[in-house]
């Protein structure tokens, strides 16, 4: 939970609804996972649909338009030069995307300003195929990055989660996302954020103050969308960082803290890294907002907190003293329940040759009342 300084959609929150909801029973939300190849779990575990199968399903469903918001694109393994066979899933997704425009389907892609080290082959191929690409210069606009990962299909279906447009996100990295089917109200809401990205991708664009009314929403923490998902009453809303919040939007930090504060029994959190600091700003700053609320939940309400974070070659050494401090809240003399676990993906010497792989990239939080699925490590707001 280090501050990534990334103005983006942070996530979708699903709450148990206290009132009966009589709406479309076809609304369906499905948890989607990527499991690194050759990683096995117990026989009692129930696998969710894969990211690859979900993307292929959405590609087979689209008839009019597909909008994709993304951080970067590496759907083939040309960037790693490893000739890794498992890259075939990413290559197949890219090939399907390249065919859409030829069938009269509008394809729009909003992508963060590319880093110098990242290849542009995929984006160039998509533009040549007929897709329209807008590069959003978040470093200039907010000193941050567009870290978003979501799909919108025909204004009806959506996908949002942790998986990048990267072949490794399909076969080499542990990812968790959600696909929502037949839910035009949520798709429209997310579509407003995409339109904001699209507008900011015009050369010379600036963040409007205030945002125009057409970027606003009526669904938020105070008035969530009441739907029936998977035959279960639920209240749902999206959240976004301050820079991209038009009228009505709930800011991302407020969402995270409200989920923690409402918990009465447990808070389970899984993130790629956990730091009560800003992680990518210089100089780094101490930013303990979320850390403090987890401790408060344990101390004041005896909530059970279970934190699962990743341990891999790129983990910052400064993370581990903070994790030890959090775990020390529960000791032999206290009644508090605070567990801190490290997730390590087993990897062979050959697999270790693939850079930036074999990691738990999940970002989610679950309580007895709510489920939050996000797209990044959560941290402080972008610098003003």
Q: Provide the 8-state DSSP code for 318.
A: T
* 3 state SS of 123: helix
243 phi and psi angles, rounded to 5 deg: -60, -25
pLDDT score for 14? 60
Q: What is the distance between the alpha carbons of residues 307 and 323, in angstroms, rounded to a whole number? A: 9
pTM of the model: 0.89
Task: State the residue range of the domain holding 356.
Answer: 11-374
DSSP-H helix ranges across 223-356: 252-262, 289-301, 319-327
Residue 50 lies in a domain: yes
Cα(126)–Cα(70) distance, rounded to whole angstroms? Answer: 14
* pLDDT tens over the chain, length 384 residues: 555 444 454 466 666 544 333 334 468 899 999 998 877 777 777 789 999 999 999 999 999 999 999 999 999 988 777 778 889 999 999 999 999 999 999 999 999 988 766 778 999 999 999 999 999 998 889 888 888 999 999 999 999 999 999 999 999 999 999 999 999 988 998 999 999 999 999 999 999 998 998 988 888 888 888 877 777 788 887 777 788 888 888 888 888 999 999 999 999 999 999 999 987 777 889 999 999 999 999 999 999 999 999 988 888 899 999 999 999 999 878 889 999 999 988 777 777 788 888 888 989 999 999 988 877 553 333 332
Query: Is the CB of residue 211 less than 8 Å from the CB of residue 248?
Result: no
Q: Does residue 384 lie in a domain region?
A: no
Residue 13 has what pLDDT?
65
Tell me, yes or no, whether 3 lies in a domain. no
What is the pLDDT at residue 174?
92
Cα angle: 126, vertex 128, 131; to 5 degrees: 50
Residue 1, in any domain of the structure: no
The number of CA neighbours under 13 Å toward the Cβ of 360 is 21
Tokens of 259: 């989920």
Q: Say if residues 236 and 225 touch (Cβ distance below 8 Å).
A: yes
Sign of the C-alpha dihedral, residues 94, 97, 98, 99?
positive
Q: Kindly report the CATH number assigned to the domain that includes residue 172.
A: 3.30.870.10
Of 63, 124, 67, 130, give the one whose Cα is nearest residue 99.
130
Count of CB atoms within 10 A of residue 286's CB?
A: 10
Question: Is 201 contained in some domain?
Answer: yes
What is the number of structural domains in the chain?
1
The rounded distance, in Å, linking the Cα atoms of 219 and 238 is 8
Query: Could you tell me if residue 6 is inside a domain?
Result: no
> What number of CA atoms fall less than 13 Å from residue 198's CA on the CB side?
13
Rg (CA), the chain: 20
Within a domain: 63: yes
Residue 379 lies in a domain: no
Closest CA to 234 of 2, 28, 7, 16: 16
Q: Which residues of 192-208 are buried (b: 16+ CB within 10 A; e: fewer)?
A: bbbbbbbbbbeeeeeee
Which tokens hold the place of 208? Answer: 């409007």
């Amino acid at each position: 939970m280090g501050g990534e300084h990334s103005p983006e959609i942070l996530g979708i929150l699903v709450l148990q609804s206290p009132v009966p909801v009589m709406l479309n029973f076809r609304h369906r939300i499905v948890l989607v996972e990527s499991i690194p190849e050759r990683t096995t779990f117990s026989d009692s575990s129930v696998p969710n649909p894969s990211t690859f199968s979900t993307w292929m399903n959405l590609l087979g469903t689209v008839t009019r338009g597909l909008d994709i918001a993304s951080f970067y694109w590496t759907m083939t393994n040309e960037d790693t030069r490893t000739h890794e066979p498992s890259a075939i899933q990413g290559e197949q997704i890219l090939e399907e995307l390249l065919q859409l425009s030829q069938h009269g389907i509008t394809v729009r892609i909003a992508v963060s300003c590319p880093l110098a080290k990242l290849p542009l082959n995929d984006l160039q191929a998509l533009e040549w195929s007929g897709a329209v690409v807008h590069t959003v210069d978040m470093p200039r606009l907010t000193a941050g990055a567009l870290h978003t990962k979501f799909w919108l299909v025909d204004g009806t279906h959506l996908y949002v989660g942790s998986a990048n447009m990267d072949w490794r996100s399909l076969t080499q990295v542990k990812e968790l996302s959600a696909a929502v089917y037949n839910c035009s109200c949520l798709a429209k809401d997310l579509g407003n954020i995409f339109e904001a990205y699209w507008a900011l991708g015009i050369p010379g664009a600036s963040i409007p103050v205030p945002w125009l009314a057409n970027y606003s929403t009526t669904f938020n923490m105070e008035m969530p969308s009441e739907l029936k998902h998977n035959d279960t009453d639920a209240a749902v809303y999206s959240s976004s960082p301050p820079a991209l919040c038009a009228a009505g939007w709930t800011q991302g930090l407020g969402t995270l803290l409200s989920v923690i504060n409402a918990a009465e029994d447990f808070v389970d959190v899984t993130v790629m890294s956990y730091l009560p600091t800003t992680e990518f700003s210089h100089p780094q700053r101490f930013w303990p907002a979320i850390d403090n609320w987890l401790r408060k939940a344990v101390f004041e309400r005896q909530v059970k907190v279970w934190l699962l974070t990743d341990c891999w070659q790129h983990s910052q050494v400064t993370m581990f003293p903070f994790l030890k401090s959090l775990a020390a809240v529960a000791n032999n003399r206290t009644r508090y329940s605070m567990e801190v676990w490290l997730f390590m993906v087993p990897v062979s010497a050959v697999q270790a040759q693939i850079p930036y792989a074999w990691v738990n990239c999940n970002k989610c939080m679950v309580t007895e009342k709510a489920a939050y699925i996000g797209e990044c490590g959560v941290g402080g707001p972008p610098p003003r």
